Structure 1
Amino acid sequence: MAEKKKISRRKFLVRGGLGTAGVLAVGAYIFRNPIRRSILEMANTMELPYSGDTKNPMVWFEVLTDNTIVLHSPKVEMGQGSFTSFAQMAADELEIPMRMLKVIHAATSTGNLDGVSTGGSTSVSGLWQPLRVLAATMREMIRTVAANKLGVDIGDVEINEGSASANGTSLTYAEVAEGVTEWPEIDEPTLKNVKDYKFVGKPIPRIDLDDKVYGSPIFGMDADMEGMLYGAVVRPDKIGAKFIGADTTKAEAMPGVVKVIEEDDFVGVVAESYQQAENAKNAIVVEWEAPMDLQQEDLEKLMTVGNGKHTIIQKEGTALEDDAEILEFRSPIGAHAQIEPNGVLASVEGEKAIIKISTQVVGITRSEVAERLGFEEENVNVIPTYLGGGFGRRLHTPHAVQAAVMSKAVGKPVKYFFSRKEEFQHDMFRPPTHHVMKGMLNDEGLLEGLEHHFVSGDVGNNSVLVPSFAPTVLGADVGAIRGGFLQYTSVPNHRSVYWHVQLPFATSWWRSLGLLANTFAIESFMDHMAVKSGKNAADFRLAQIADDAIGKRLKTTIEAVVERSGYTENVSNGRAMGLAASIDAGTPCAQVVEVSIEDKEIKVHKVTVALDPGLAVNPDQVKAQCEGCVCMGISAAMHEQMFVANGELRPVIYGPYEMALMKHSPKEIDVVLLQGKDTPGPVGEPPLGPIGAAVANAVFRLTGQRLTKLPLKLA
């Protein structure tokens, strides 16, 4: 068997810096050899480093006169609890109590700007090293200035609880900072030993809890400005409809209408109230060119393995013959369905703009607004707010441009939010998928071969976050393939093949990207083959996971969830257990669910989760993320689906778009955390992977039905 060619991380990063022309120049070399697969595998597992400022503490920290330290976070808080973890990391290195630290979103005017986005479960892991170094640097800057003010050697200054002391005299950080206009430069400081931290690794309560409990105006929908007007934008119902023209006569004469704005790419209304803007928008007579009348059966026929262009993303050994065991799986279109619809408040005055917005891409939003208005980027101040749900929906927020254009046209701030119907019909959906799983057992009841063929619409392709040349060079969508690699690499012959199909509507990032659908197919099939072999599903998996570093962590995770849950394949009192496991961005997760069938409905009673995120900065919050992923995964795997009818995406409101309710949540979610490495790993998405397959596998134990289509419904 030929040895697999590898590419080092260093070479990957060097080639990544070649630019478009350079990448395309080496493209012919990459296209037809194993290096492409190595790059895709690296992209699938690599934890992205933070790409913003990591040198200047003064754009991160602000010392207030009351001795409060303000941390201006370039990462946004959308419910994942990252602000609390940041506070823990910073407070430990700053040597201050948690009560002294306040974390807020960094406006672009501060200069603290994330170069990419908030997403990919990398907020805490990506800032683990740079934030601690910045905080330690700030601590040493304070120590140095304090030594000068106290007239002592720097080695005589003791830092503790937000004060600098020497020879019986103490200065608060605020007193140290008073009157300082130039801070000393500090070489990279020595970080404290993690074992000596007071806050990291502890279940510290959420620092944003009071604001949310008491309803403080912290979300984008709460944004307000004096003299603010309201905007609305005309959007089509039909998929792929192109704007031809509009009659705005009636709308212009309606009560409260300030102006109807007609641009080449949109028609908007500005009015004195939200309802007046909506009424006028609905009165505009628009001519659309609708190119198709797509139906659900057309979509499923299109989204079938064998259509489109394929790329082998993983390969070892030979392909399976036609006599292999084969099962097919499908997942539907999924909406983000976040509680806060997309929206923005824009104020354009002269050559400057202020944008208050719930967004995961602060820098990109600033760039797009500046380009459209013809402003310098530094003249556009984007002020991020808390997000009422993100999940990837806000990884592109071009409505900021529309609001800015409307504000400039009327000379006043304009607040513009999607209606719920617009949010559902013009989402950036989770793409539908189709999977063909193939397997063959050897004489020992283990897999001789395992293959995963899957088709998906775009996730990363056509996103503002992914370079335009990436699809050509890589041949696969870096988002759609998440979870698509087979983790059972001890199987002698294994491969995963990605098929790309261009959909007529927008699909993009959805929490966990391709992980949910890919794991559903792979782990359901592994259960099927375990049954066929006569082996216990856990033992069957463990025997076929490699003994490399990540394989060992995955094995330990599976063993932990089996022990914690008391996993058995016996049906008892009308209940059965199902097991599934996955690896996402280097974080292994295994789950066991306990289900019953009541009135032909699947009921999940308990979910046991074993997760190895490395060092848990806030264990309580990591467990909360697991609980949230389990509930969201149950909703996606058992209830949610969008469909196409007569060229329209439906449903358009909650209710018809079925989601899990409180009654559908398990009575118990038991989480065990492991630490297979000494640094934090991604947490926010990995626990979404196994839940769909685990439920389906439990249902099989109960009924003998192998459910192969999401959402899971009994025949």
Structure 2
Amino acid sequence: MGKKEKSEKKISRRKFFVLGSVGTIGVLAIGTYVFRGSIRRVIANQVNSAEPPYMGNTDTPTIWFEILPDNSVMLYSPKVEMGQGVFTGLAQIAAEELEIPVSQIKVTHAPSISGNMDEFATGGSTSISSLWQPVRELAATMREMIKIEAAKKLEANIIDLTLANGIISNGNQSISYAETVKDKKNWEIPDTPTLKDVKSYKLVGKPIPRVDLHDKVFGTPIFGMDAKMPDMLYGAVVRPSAIDATLVGVHIVEAEKMPGVVKVVKENDFVGVVANSLLEAENAKKAIETNWKSEKFWQTSDIEAMVEVGKGKPFVIQKEGNVEKLFEDDKGIVISEFKSPIGAHAQLEPNGALAHVEADKVTVIISTQVVKITRDEIAERLGMDKEKVNIVPTFLGGGFGRRLHTPNGMQAAVLSKAVGKPVKCFFTRKEEFQNDTFRPPTHHVLKAKLSENGMIEGIEHNVSSGDVAFGSPMLPSFAEPILGADLGAWRGGMIQYGKIPNFQAISWRVKLPFATSWWRSLGLLANTFAIESFMDELSIKAKKDPVQFRLDQIQDDKRGIRLKKVIRAVAKKAGYVDEVINGRAMGFAASTDANTPCAQVVEVSITNDKIKVHKVTCAMDPGIIINPDQVRAQCEGAIIMGMSASIFEKMEVVDGELTPTIYGPYQMALMKDAPKEIDVVLLQNDDKPDAVGEPPLGPIGAAVANAVFRLTGKRIRTMPLQFALNNHKSA
């Protein structure tokens, strides 16, 4: 099926909304400088509850769907499959409107040259939620386009046609989709038809097997590291081991003499080697003499001293009532502090790319979450038109935000241009750990005052953190002065208990000497750990059941009602009790992230000072559920990742270097640490799909810490919890 050459289509309400949103941001940007504090809080509240619309091309169905000769349909996805199951979910959504079974849909990544690119990224738990409406509309429009052509070939009235399993019928006549569109180039694209009632859907909501299961089970080469091209060479780039290091001197003479070396490439910002094999490239890289300059010999204690509430400039991101006035009388104020460490992404597949730069085009095969940004960066570096740079995304061997930064794609392209052949260039494991874009450490100070009847009169959350969104290519530079506070650092840091009459959240921004950025759920894990541990502490002081204590503080608006429902559901399913039974205790926590409320109860024991999580019960309301198996798997994965990060994981800065640099010393949860049971309860109290991938990461750290308190009487205020427990860092 060829691409359309010319078509006209009226602008949809969805597109109008996108265009309107840009204008709104501009107005807010101007207003920020007039009413800076209040406008920033408005923006922060919008960001906290916003559901970003899809920003790619949704007017051209033929760049999304291709009818193949075997009568299957190829769906070109602008969202990247990194294990979250997005290909399967999109296939289910599209199949409903295309009138075909999921088994008849194949899904692949859309290369950038197709024009089907996401202006945003694959991240933020937006893949399904943002494409729910566009894919339905595109599939429905494609279906009508096929019907128009079938009506012509069958010489029938279009209203008399029926569709089933990729076959169009008119009485005794029938024709397949493939026969209908054979050799079709110029398409008539109608206005978007009326979509089916979701209640009539037969595939959405069903546990359909994953469409990528076969390739993963049988080891099909689908990941970035699998990429190959004819006459391919190998590259290696010199990267610093120390943080805050600048390259001030390079000597390449010895490296150029090494076996297999094709060329040593010196650029202003990096030095790389191209050789006939990976081993030869790495050996030659080690022979390059480099001189690095660092401003300071950093240690962990230096970083901890920087990340401290009260240092830097505060930004009030949430405010209700007058908590300052309430706290003027310091009698009865409860104050607690919490901390989280530097965290690595530690994904299985290191970053890298295979690039081939030719005279009039560039092809880059890469594991990336940001296809458009990667394309634009490479085009700018090479001085080429963007349309001549083709980014071919692959499956990701773990993403979690690490592949939102892709200078490795640009470096591979520069090396390829220097030698005139394809060059494959990847990080080593040590380089991946030391040159990560880390989860920043945090420091939290929470204050609250209880009334005589045990209700919270006022609460304040201060969070100090390194950058998450700021400095990232995903966020435009003009956003920093507008927002003030880093939206990623305070994600999950707002007070969700709307019945409290006085509350505020304050973000303190810290500029750290090493790269920090997006990490799965951004600030959600650390912020929820602090707030929900504090809420547990307050419930004990109020002498109230911790579950009921939270329910009493939640407002009865739509957001609050959904949160109450997941809290009640998880407490009932887990059989929550606030006491130690047979050496085990339960811990509870809840959060709302990207409009998806989630609550968890964990069952924990401690043997020989080791924390053991036996069971996790999770209740979540992601709105319309496309594939319940997929959602449960996402919950399970997020819970395990959150457990690993909150109980075990920690990066240190020793003598100017980030360490550990390999698995093992960087302690993570092992199979023996996984709970024997994860019980997931799914609710659907919204009329559209909401976020799934990151919300279940929020409550787990606090839930475990709250259980540990019941077992030990010690309130652990520092992650990782096992390290803190062993070192008695508790109050």
Secondary structure of the structure 2 residue equivalent to 1:29: coil
Correspondence for 2:209 among 194, 197, 205: 205
Change (3 A) 1:411 1:42: same
1:17 to 11, 20, 23: 23
Tell me whether 1:284 sits opposite 2:288 in the alignment.
yes
What does residue 9 of structure 2 align with?
A: none
Residue in structure 1 matched with residue 266 of structure 2 by the alignment? 262
Question: 1:345 pairs with 332, 354, 374, which one?
Answer: 354
Write the deviation string for residues 224-263 of structure 1: whole angstroms up to 9, x where unpaired: 0010000011111111111112111110000000000000
Which of 125, 128, 147 lines up with 1:124 in the alignment? Answer: 128
- C-alpha displacement of 1:629: 0.5
Which of 175, 179, 185 is the matching residue for 2:183? 179
1:688-699 equivalences in 2 (<5 Å): 688-699=697-708
Q: Which residue of 2 aligns with 1:133?
A: 137
Say whether the 8 Å CA contact 2:32–2:39 is kept in structure 1: no
Distance 1:308 1:662, change over 3 A: same
2:713 pairs with 1:704: yes
Residue 41 of structure 1 corresponds to 45
Amino acid corresponding to residue 707 of structure 1 in structure 2: I
1:518 maps to amino acid: N
Deviation at 1:12, TM superposition (A): 11
- Contact kept, 8 Å, 1:15 with 1:23, in 2: the verdict is no
Give the CA deviation at 1:19. 8.1
The 3 A distance-change label for structure 1 pair 400 and 451 is same
2:197 and 2:501 map into 1 onto residues whose CA distance is: 43
- Conserved 8 A contact 1:576-1:596: yes
1:396–1:464: 8 Å Cα contact kept in structure 2? yes
1:182 & 1:229 partners in 2: Cα distance?
A: 41
Output aligned runs, 1:486-635, within 5 Å.
486-635=495-644
**Residue 317 (structure 1) shift:** 1.7
Distance 1:113 1:464 in 2: 16
2:396 maps to what in 1? 387
Alpha-carbon deviation of 1:23? Answer: 6.3
Query: Is the 8 Å Cα contact of residues 12 and 39 (structure 1) preserved in structure 2?
Result: no
Q: Secondary structure at the match of 2:437?
A: coil
Structure 2 residue runs of 5 or longer lacking an equivalent are 1-15
The one-letter code of the counterpart of 2:630 is Q
Does 2:366 align with 1:361?
no
Q: d(CA) in 2 for partners of 1:115 and 1:24?
A: 21
Which of the numbers 306, 313, 333 marks the counterpart of 2:342? Answer: 333
The correspondence of residues 223-262 of structure 1 with structure 2, limited to 5 A, is: 223-262=227-266
Q: What count of residue pairs does the alignment treat as equivalent?
A: 704
Structure 1 residue 114 corresponds to structure 2 residue 118: yes
Q: Which residue of 1 aligns with 2:168?
A: 164
Matching residue's letter, 1:113: M
* Separation in 2, partners of 1:474, 1:178: 52
Counterpart-to-counterpart distance in 2, 1:314 and 1:363: 33
String of CA shifts for 1:652-705, please: whole Å, max 9, x gaps.
Answer: 111110010000000000000001112100000000000000000001111101
Q: Distance in 1 between matches of 2:31 and 2:686?
A: 35
Are 1:650 and 2:659 counterparts?
Answer: yes
Decide whether the 8 Å contact of 1:71 with 1:101 is kept in 2.
Answer: yes
The residue matched to 2:540 in structure 1 has which SS? helix
Q: 1:252 to 1:105 in 2, by over 3 A?
A: same
How far apart, in 1, do the equivalents of 2:312 and 2:285 lie?
Answer: 39
Q: Distance in 2 between matches of 1:163 and 1:627?
A: 39
- The aligned runs of 1:675-694 (5 Å cut-off) are 675-694=684-703
2:193 pairs with 184, 189, 192, which one?
Answer: 189
Distance in 1, Cα, partners of 2:55 & 2:382: 26
Q: Say if 1:15 and 1:64 are closer, same or farther in 2 by CA, change over 3 A.
A: closer
Distance 1:299 1:662, change over 3 A: same
CA distance in 1, matches of 2:207, 2:25: 44
Runs (4 or more) in structure 1 with deviation over 6 Å come to 10-13
Q: Secondary structure at the match of 2:403?
A: coil
- Tell me the alpha carbon deviations over residues 313-372 of structure 1, each in whole angstroms, 9 at most, x when there is no partner: 111122224441111000000000000000000001112100000000000111111111
SS at match of 1:261: strand
In structure 2, which of residues 58, 62, 69 is the aligned counterpart of residue 58 of structure 1? 62
Residue 288 of structure 1 deviates from its aligned partner by 1.1
Shift of 1:398: 1.2
RMSD: 1.3
- Which whole-Å CA distance do the structure 1 matches of 2:103 and 2:719 have between them? 46
Aligned partner of 1:7 in structure 2 is: none
When normalised by structure 1's length, the TM-score is 0.97
TM-score, with length taken from structure 2: 0.95
Deviation at 1:27, TM superposition (A): 3.2
Residues in 1 aligned to 2:381 and 2:492: alpha-carbon distance in whole angstroms: 37
Distance in 1, matches of 2:256 and 2:183, equals 56
Q: Which residue of 2 aligns with 1:663?
A: 672
Note the C-alpha offset of 1:179: 2.9
1:3 maps to none
Q: Unpaired segments of 5 or more residues in structure 1?
A: 1-9
Give yes or no for contact 2:648–2:720 (8 Å, CA) kept in 1: yes
Contact 1:30 1:473 in 2 (8 A): no
One-letter amino acid of the structure 1 residue matched with residue 511 of structure 2:
Q
Query: Match for residue 79 of structure 1?
Result: 83
Say whether the 8 Å CA contact 1:578–1:698 is kept in structure 2. yes
Give 1:6's aligned residue.
Answer: none
Q: Alignment partner of 2:402: what SS?
A: coil
Report the 3-state secondary structure (helix = DSSP H, G, I; strand = E; otherwise coil) of the residue aligned with 1:96: coil
Q: Is 1:461 aligned to residue 470 of structure 2?
A: yes
Matched residues in 2 for 1:484 and 1:415: separation? 41
Q: Does 1:155 align with 2:159?
A: yes
Match of 1:181, SS state, is: coil
Distance 1:665 1:279 in 2: 39
